[in-house]
Amino acid sequence: MSSDHDIIRLPDPPPPAPDARAAAVQQALLRFDQKSAENGQGLPTDIRLIERTAAPLRPSRERFVMKRTRYLLAASLACLVVGSGAYLHLMRSPQLHNTFARVEEKVASNDVAQAPSTLQAKKESDSPAQPQPQIQTATPAAKPDQEAAAPSVAAAPPPAKPDVETQIVGRFAPQASSTTAPGKVQGMIPGTPPVDVRGRYADRTDHRPAPAPLASAKRMAEEVPRSAHQRERAPDASEPVGRDKFANAPENAFKVARDAPVSTFSIDVDTASYAFVRAQLNRNVLPPAASVRTEELINYFPYAYEAPASANEPFRANVAVFPNPWAEGRKLIRVGVKGYALQQTSRPRANLVFLIDTSGSMQPQNRLPLVKQSLAMLLTQLQPEDRIAIVTYAGNAGTALEPTSMSEKAKILATIDRLEAGGSTAGAEGIRQAYALAEQNFDASGVNRVIVATDGDFNVGITNQDELKGFVERQREKGIFLSVLGVGAGNYNDALAQTLAQNGNGVAAYIDTINEARKVLVEEASSTLFPIGKDVKIQIEFNPATVAEYRLIGYETRLLNRDDFANDKVDAGDVGSGQTVTALYDIVPVGGPRVVDDLRYGARAPASASPSPAEYAFVKIRYKLPRSDQSVLISTPVDRGSEHARFEDAPLDARFATSVAAFGEILRGGKHTGQFGYDDVLRIASAARGDDPYGYRAEFLQLVRAAKTASAMQPLMRR
């Protein structure tokens, strides 16, 4: 049998998401409690119901009589198959939908009763300084203290005498079960299962599975759950890691400046790789080398580059040359591009339509609840004259909020609060409806944008893919842009979200935690919403008289051909208001330690004939204004004036970017970083932490420490 294991190489599974695990366990325990409560009353209702529709199913009591396990096993498997089929059938049958709808109405009417106090709470918590508790303070039962919150939720009593209707719904649509626990649970965000509240707190702390179940189990004498909790991460840790295959280009190699003096690439403001690396390291596992895209790590951090003076020339390149800390004799050239930051006052009016996926898959607390929190946070960044509309698709499709001025913030917040996931995925005319609303309020001088929040199932009404893509493109030409906010893990990763956002001149942002939501929607709100340049390309020409060899760090997947630079047909990245993009070149100056040998038969360098040896390189940036098809060129030389003799004298941001680049390169195998280790990264990064108001750089330091630990553990786990 042992030879079986060599047959085929299985892909390593991803770690189960702690919140999904917590949600699953909580759902099951909820039912367990219901079942225990019903045991005195004979068979559980739902079983009886299934019996009626699925004849071959045996009543559960008979199972206890059966002796032969084989039969039992076969029967139980059959039960499962038939039972789940019946379950599905029931879910889809109109009769049940009616029931569901009725219960939903009940929920809704409860909401209305609750609305005033909800709004009150919101207004009080409405200061931009603390956007996070907005939704949470609106939930009387959910106290910010997780220890306090958990028992009250867990203790929500199951109905003593459930009537058939609510029972069914409670089983099939767990969120509706809150109707049966009046008061306490009802006070939470309607439609969110109790689990979610807990899970959210867990999410906000450190992604460990919610500790709440321990508290809720305290009435049990046994210590079992505690040990289970301690141990449950163990299987993760012993998974084989780092053996996945990824299609990612290897690190750029050194090029000889005399042979190929020009380097061209598209800017990349994507940061997904950083989120992936962070997720891996938080599990104390090194990310697979190929999953690390160094430029995305570097660009995750905001840098305080000198801003362009006006919107007429929206970009400014900040160059610096300084010694390379990981290789004696080499230098680094930092090219930092800063986009013009639109002022709040001069900012165009925003006409936003949120198209929110409320299908069943959005139910986990890192999806719809996170989207709701994110939207509430985004509201704090908008001006009173901006307008917002909300359209939902799947389940309860339709316009949730007609275009509403931001001055009616309370109304908007209440609508967001009422959104709930659930129901089938009957794709409605969601996207058309969203665009129709955007068009209805079209503001020729403002920003018109549809923002899709989804976990990736793009069943938005237009099912033909060409039609969908063409539709988004046509709308873009009309001036309505599209952005995608991705949540959840797994199916978001459809390149579709990226493609659509690209076709719609928008960003595809991925939100995994509330902190990420704050970064994307609050601190970077204007860059997310207001593009200032598109198809931004960078071309650098090195001066062979001063630079012998160069290597672009990162951007492997974004390289362009030399002639693509001036070709306006070639698509490239977009830059939003105030965004920064950083590229680092590792260079070997003439006379430095060469990496690539000279050719024996190559032309000898004309030693002194080169022009202006004071310049290292010449940077050219080509961009288009958002409404233009003609590209504009700006350029800046990299001369000795921007050179710093000692690394310690280099600008703070340049030093920090260097440490991030080194970290990325080390994670990828450290082919070019020599003996430079995590400790060196820590040293440089902690010296260059600077102001760091949002703690991103502090988080980076933690990641480096985590990587250090993980790399020390790596040999053990490989065994």
Partner 1 sequence: MGGAIQPMAAEVTEPLDGDATDDDLVSLATQGNRAAFEAVLRRHYDLMHRVAWRMTGSQTDAQDICQDVCCVLVERIASFRGEAKFTTWLVGIVRNACHDHRRRHSTLTRLKGHLAVLAEMAAPPDGRDLFRRSWLASELARLSPLLRETVVLVVGEGMTHAEAATALGVSESTISGRMHEVRRQAGLAKDIGDEF
Q: Name the minimum Å distance from CB 150 to partner 1.
A: 14
Q: Give the number of other CB atoms < 10 A from CB of residue 633.
A: 12
The reply on whether position 69 binds partner 1 by CB under 8 A is: yes
The nearer residue to partner 1, 160 or 444, going by C-beta atoms, is 160
The reply on whether position 33 binds partner 1 by CB under 8 A is: yes
Q: Name the minimum Å distance from CB 172 to partner 1.
A: 10
Candidate segments 35-43, 349-357, 545-553, 596-604, binder of partner 1 by CB under 8 A = 35-43
The nearer residue to partner 1, 288 or 531, going by C-beta atoms, is 288
The reply on whether position 80 binds partner 1 by CB under 8 A is: yes
Among 79, 401, 588, 667, binds partner 1 (CB under 8 A): 79
Among 246, 253, 633, 709, binds partner 1 (CB under 8 A): 246
Name the β-bridge partners of 533. Answer: 575
Q: Name the minimum Å distance from CB 363 to partner 1.
A: 9
The nearer residue to partner 1, 225 or 637, going by C-beta atoms, is 225
The nearer residue to partner 1, 6 or 145, going by C-beta atoms, is 6
Which uninterrupted H or E stretch holds 18? helix 18-38
What type of residue is 707? A
Q: Give the number of other CB atoms < 10 A from CB of residue 677.
A: 16
Q: Name the minimum Å distance from CB 539 to partner 1.
A: 20
The nearer residue to partner 1, 328 or 467, going by C-beta atoms, is 467
Q: Name the minimum Å distance from CB 310 to partner 1.
A: 32
Name the β-bridge partners of 450. Answer: 353, 482
Tokens of 601: 């038969």
Site residues for partner 1, 83-102, by CB under 8 A, read 83-85, 88
Q: Name the minimum Å distance from CB 14 to partner 1.
A: 4
Candidate segments 93-101, 107-115, 123-131, 223-231, binder of partner 1 by CB under 8 A = 223-231
Which uninterrupted H or E stretch holds 245? none
Dist CA 499 CA 507 (whole Å): 10
Q: Name the minimum Å distance from CB 158 to partner 1.
A: 12
The nearer residue to partner 1, 33 or 165, going by C-beta atoms, is 33
Among 32, 259, 328, 343, binds partner 1 (CB under 8 A): 32
| 678-687 exposure pattern, b = at least 16 Cβ within 10 A, e = fewer | bebbbebbee
Site residues for partner 1, 626-645, by CB under 8 A, read none
Site residues for partner 1, 270-289, by CB under 8 A, read 270, 272, 276, 288
Helix (H, G, I), strand (E, B) or coil at 64: helix
Half-sphere exposure of 160 (CA within 13 A, CB side): 1
Among 59, 72, 328, 613, binds partner 1 (CB under 8 A): 72
- Cβ within 8 Å of residue 247, ≥6 positions away: 290
Tell me the CA end-to-end span of the chain in Å, nearest whole number. 21
Q: Are 421 and 395 in contact (CB under 8 A)?
A: yes
Q: Name the minimum Å distance from CB 708 to partner 1.
A: 22
The nearer residue to partner 1, 20 or 652, going by C-beta atoms, is 20
Among 145, 222, 477, 597, binds partner 1 (CB under 8 A): 222
Among 126, 244, 429, 443, binds partner 1 (CB under 8 A): 244
The nearer residue to partner 1, 498 or 636, going by C-beta atoms, is 498
Among 139, 180, 396, 502, binds partner 1 (CB under 8 A): 502
The reply on whether position 249 binds partner 1 by CB under 8 A is: no
Candidate segments 9-17, 135-143, 311-319, 338-346, binder of partner 1 by CB under 8 A = 9-17
The nearer residue to partner 1, 76 or 642, going by C-beta atoms, is 76
Helix (H, G, I), strand (E, B) or coil at 582: strand
Name the β-bridge partners of 551. Answer: 586
- Cβ within 8 Å of residue 602, ≥6 positions away: 259
Site residues for partner 1, 553-582, by CB under 8 A, read 557, 571
The CB-based long-range contact list for 239-243 (8 Å cut-off, 24+ gap) reads 239/12, 239/13, 239/15, 239/285, 239/717, 240/12, 240/717, 240/718, 241/12, 241/285, 241/286, 241/288, 241/714, 241/717, 241/718, 242/285, 242/286, 242/287, 242/288, 242/289, 242/714, 243/12, 243/288
Q: Name the minimum Å distance from CB 427 to partner 1.
A: 9
Binding characters for partner 1, 387-426, by CB under 8 A (x = yes): --------------------------------------x-
Dist CA 344 CA 360 (whole Å): 38
The nearer residue to partner 1, 121 or 707, going by C-beta atoms, is 707
Q: Name the minimum Å distance from CB 370 to partner 1.
A: 15
Q: Name the minimum Å distance from CB 190 to partner 1.
A: 21
Candidate segments 222-230, 574-582, 598-606, 630-638, binder of partner 1 by CB under 8 A = 222-230
Provide φ and ψ at 537, rounded to 5°.
Answer: -125, 150
Site residues for partner 1, 309-368, by CB under 8 A, read 361, 364
Total residues contacting partner 1 by CB under 8 A comes to 107
Among 14, 159, 242, 403, binds partner 1 (CB under 8 A): 14
Among 97, 184, 208, 229, binds partner 1 (CB under 8 A): 229
Site residues for partner 1, 194-213, by CB under 8 A, read 213
DSSP string, 100-129: HHHHHHHHHHHHHHHHHHHHHHHHHT--TT
Alpha carbon 593 to its chain's center: 42
The reply on whether position 16 binds partner 1 by CB under 8 A is: yes
- Cβ within 8 Å of residue 448, ≥6 positions away: 351, 438, 441, 442, 479, 480, 481
| 364-391 exposure pattern, b = at least 16 Cβ within 10 A, e = fewer | bbbbbbbbbbbbbbbbbbbeeebbbbbb
Query: Percent helix, strand and coil across the chain, each rounded to 5?
Result: 45, 15, 40
Among 7, 113, 160, 716, binds partner 1 (CB under 8 A): 7
Q: Are 619 and 317 in contact (CB under 8 A)?
A: yes
Q: Name the nearest CA neighbour of 365 among 133, 200, 146, 172.
A: 200
Dist CA 129 CA 131 (whole Å): 6
The reply on whether position 234 binds partner 1 by CB under 8 A is: yes
Provide φ and ψ at 623, rounded to 5°.
Answer: -145, 165
The nearer residue to partner 1, 440 or 465, going by C-beta atoms, is 465
Q: Are 544 and 257 in contact (CB under 8 A)?
A: yes
The nearer residue to partner 1, 301 or 510, going by C-beta atoms, is 510
Q: Name the minimum Å distance from CB 450 to partner 1.
A: 18
The reply on whether position 506 binds partner 1 by CB under 8 A is: no
Candidate segments 100-108, 123-131, 237-245, 369-377, binder of partner 1 by CB under 8 A = 237-245
Site residues for partner 1, 441-500, by CB under 8 A, read 455-459, 463-466, 468-469, 486, 488-496, 498-499
The nearer residue to partner 1, 59 or 144, going by C-beta atoms, is 59
